[in-house]
Amino acid sequence: MKVKSVKYFYFGVLIADIVIRLMDASELDKFVKPLMMPVLLYYLIQKTSCRIYKLYLLLAAAIIMAWIGDILLLNQQQLILPGGILAFLITQSIYLYIFKANSIGSFRSLLSNNIPVSLMLSICYIAFLCVSVLLIEGNIKYAVIFYGAVVTTATWYSFVQNKLPKIRYLKIGMSLFLISDALLASKIFFFTVPLAPMLIIGTYGLAQFFI
């Protein structure tokens, strides 16, 4: 299958999942959503012509862990939820490692040269931290808070690093990941935003593709 065909198939699966959620057909969603990451992994393999480089192996590992997280979070059961968070924590940790390894300059210089982005993300995380501490019950709140710190840091590095190609897509991807995670956390722990299921899968699918 050609690279373009795989890309179109991925977006076909994504659109199908959005439609399924719009129809509230949760049983179908259990079959369709787990298809996304394997298709994206195949797209990565085709796009890179099966070349084995450290960057591609890391991206493949991140996609595989996201796939595991997708499966574990399908039912959002309390017993499975920590496993889903852990899987996505590993995914975001891999992204963080990739972005940090490709940054130029010290942390202090990056911080001073990117004050607007740093302030915006800091405010977002502090707000998330306050809401999590006040509203999430049990020890799961600490996992959520730590995950929030990792994904926020990964997003920051995606904005300030400048060695990876097509950096604008990384910025879009990580920004969409933040939106998707915020909507998902709201749905699980706080309240459901109108059209949340469709927005969650839409922003998540686009985020993974852009990254």
pLDDT (tens digit, 9 = 90+) per residue, 161-199?
666 666 778 788 888 888 888 777 777 666 666 677 788
Give yes or no for residue 50 having a pLDDT over 70.
Answer: no
Give yes or no for residue 79 having a pLDDT over 60.
Answer: no
Q: How far is CA 88 from CA 3, 5, 27, 66, 172, in A?
A: 26, 27, 23, 6, 18
Q: Which residues lie below 8 Å from residue 161, measured CB to CB, with a gap of 6+?
A: 99, 100, 102, 103, 104, 167
CA atoms lying within 13 Å on the CB side of residue 132: 19
Average pLDDT, the chain: 79
pTM for the structure as a whole: 0.82
Can you give the pLDDT at residue 51?
63
| Cβ(160)–Cβ(114) below 8 Å | yes
Residue 1 binned pLDDT confidence (cut-offs 50, 70, 90)? low
Give yes or no for residue 61 having a pLDDT over 80.
Answer: yes
Give yes or no for residue 127 having a pLDDT over 60.
Answer: yes
Residue 210 binned pLDDT confidence (cut-offs 50, 70, 90)? confident
Instruction: Compute φ and ψ for 79, nearest 5 degrees.
Output: -75, -30
Q: Which amino acid is it at 103?
A: S
Can you give the pLDDT at residue 139?
75
| For range 14-43, the mean pLDDT | 84
Could you give the CA distance from residue 57 to residue 49 in angstroms, rounded to a whole number? 13
Could you give the CA distance from residue 15 to residue 125 in angstroms, rounded to a whole number? 30
| For range 108-118, the mean pLDDT | 69
Can you give the pLDDT at residue 18?
87
Can you give the pLDDT at residue 170?
78
Could you give the CA distance from residue 103 to residue 28 in angstroms, rounded to a whole number? 42
